[in-house]
Amino acid sequence: VSKAEIDLSSIPLGESITIKWRGKPVFIRHRTEQEIQVSETTPMSELVDPQQDSERVQVPEWLIVVGVCTHLGCVPIKDAGDYGAYYCPCHGSHYDYSGRIRKGPAPLNLEVPKYNIDGNTVVIG
């Protein structure tokens, strides 16, 4: 199946779930006000792969990224690392609440898949 449909109303505030899409993990995080604020106000000068949060999310409450570390492809763990969001234990890459690489060997931000949010439903793909 090339598309995945998820009911967002089942994901509590502050939680990150993992779904499978085209054989890959995709993280869907229901961001809190604080997570949104810190993501939107991060100075570009602090980023390895500079991207505004607004370039990475369609709706501020929802971060949707491919859960594959851009270093060598391990699956990061959620709610971990120096930036609180995702941490790749293979070689120590830290990602923030926008899925951006902040520290460690990974060169790029977590990939944002093509998706569309309509009400409480997201279709990925």
CB-based contacts of 21: which residues, under 8 Å, 6+ apart?
4, 66, 113, 124, 125
| Whole-number Å distance between alpha carbons of 43 and 35 | 15
Residue type, 6: I
> Shortest approach of ligand FES to residue 89 CB, angstroms?
8
> Shortest approach of ligand FES to residue 83 CB, angstroms?
14
Catalytic residue annotation = 91
**C-alpha angle with apex 63: 95 to 111, nearest 5 degrees?**
60
| Whole-number Å distance between alpha carbons of 100 and 83 | 10
Binding site residues, ligand FES, CB under 6 A: 69, 71-74, 88, 90-93, 104-106
If the CB atoms of residues 47 and 117 are measured against ligand FES, the closer one turns out to be 47
> Shortest approach of ligand FES to residue 61 CB, angstroms?
27
